[in-house]
Amino acid sequence: MRWFLTRLLAGVAAIAVVLAGVGVLLAAQYSGTPAAWALSQGTDAVRVESEEDAEALGPLLDTGSVDTVYVLVGEIDADGAIEPAPDVEAILARVAAHPDVRALAWLRHVTEGSSLLVDRFDRQAREALAPAVAEAAEGFAGAHLEIRPVTVNDPSLPTLMEMVREELGEEAVLSVRAHHVEPVPGGRIPSFIVNREEKYWSQGYLARVAENADEVVLPGTGAEMPMDSLYGGFMVRQVTESVSAVRAREGLTLRFGVPAEGDEESAETALSAIRLGMTRADTPEGIRLGVVLSDPAQTTAYTSGWLG
């Protein structure tokens, strides 16, 4: 019994040391001044879940810097079936008023818990889902998949991405919502132990999922940092680590989420941090960086913090 308690306390102490080290690292990241060029590249996006949300799209799309709207078209169940969402046609009508803006069919599967042993989708679910995604994306420029949580090294998501790419064809856009990248190598392990589900992806798994994607979205919420400075440092690190992971991918668009107004994680801090990350990331010319707004009503924060 004493041996077990000794090992347990040693494990807890090790996790505490890792977390303390991460905190010091993140606090140091959110400092300095972003470069003057670290602003919108005209490749930003916004998520729309309902016709009510879409009512605020006009002023945002009029900025000319948002070129993509993720329109929620359905929820994915564990068997790969899709439950259609309402209001899709009404939302598309609003997007169509802006010819330079494209709509992607956003399909979502969100659950609790993930496993080292059980894949998120089994073979039958993947075989059902891949053609269903292509069908749901008809009339759109492509598809955006949000599937979480998915454990690092789960083969089902990279395989699904490959299958969906084949169903969509090369001309359609395939976008995927990633998990946060672990702030330091191995940092995902303590989080997995505590939460019993995957919060972070390694750089290697992010690169693997992105192999068949045209666009990858890193979330801007759920960092669970106790201070604004730590959240800012976390977002800086998301930019630099994700760019490092996919730097070999020519033609990829990499976007970072911006929290909605009222969220504990502020849009202003996220945008400032993303600019700092862009300044430090040494992004290859073949990769474009942008942001994804959580709410079309974020026009004021977006224009003041991102358009310069």
Is there a contact between 254 and 241 (Cβ–Cβ < 8 Å)? no
Predicted pLDDT at 9 = 40
Give the C-alpha separation, 273 to 269, whole Å. 6
- pLDDT above 80: residue 33: yes
Count of beta carbons in the 10 Å neighbourhood of residue 205: 24
The pLDDT-based confidence of 23 (bands split at 50, 70, 90) is low
Predicted pLDDT at 5 = 43
- pLDDT above 70: residue 10: no
Could you list the beta-strand ranges (E) of 77-223: 82-84, 102-110, 142-148, 173-177, 180-181, 200-201, 215-218
Give the C-alpha separation, 287 to 252, whole Å. 5
The pLDDT-based confidence of 17 (bands split at 50, 70, 90) is very low
Closest CA to 219 of 252, 283, 261, 265: 265
**Cα→Cα distances 186→51, 109, 111, 181, 239, Å:** 42, 26, 24, 11, 18
* Residue 75 structure tokens: 């929820």
Give the C-alpha separation, 212 to 170, whole Å. 10
**pLDDT tens-digit profile of 37-52?**
999 999 999 999 999 9
- pLDDT above 90: residue 22: no
* Residue 205 structure tokens: 């798994």
- pLDDT above 60: residue 200: yes
- pLDDT above 50: residue 112: yes
Give the C-alpha separation, 303 to 227, whole Å. 25
Mean pLDDT over 134-153 rounds to 97
- Residues paired with residue 255 on neighbouring β-strands, in sequence order: 217, 290
Closest CA to 183 of 195, 175, 174, 191: 191
Give the C-alpha separation, 306 to 42, whole Å. 10
* Residue 34 structure tokens: 């972003």
Predicted pLDDT at 29 = 86
Mean pLDDT over 103-129 rounds to 95
Predicted pLDDT at 308 = 83
- pLDDT above 80: residue 223: yes
* Total length of the chain: 308
- pLDDT above 70: residue 251: yes
Predicted pLDDT at 194 = 78
- Residues paired with residue 109 on neighbouring β-strands, in sequence order: 147
Amino acid present at 274: I
- pLDDT above 90: residue 166: yes
Give the C-alpha separation, 179 to 183, whole Å. 12
Give this prediction's pTM: 0.91
Helix or strand (DSSP H, E) at 78: none
**Per mean pLDDT, which of 181-185, 186-190, 253-257 is the most reliable?**
253-257
Predicted pLDDT at 191 = 79
The percentage of residues in the chain with a pLDDT greater than 90, rounded to a whole number, is: 83
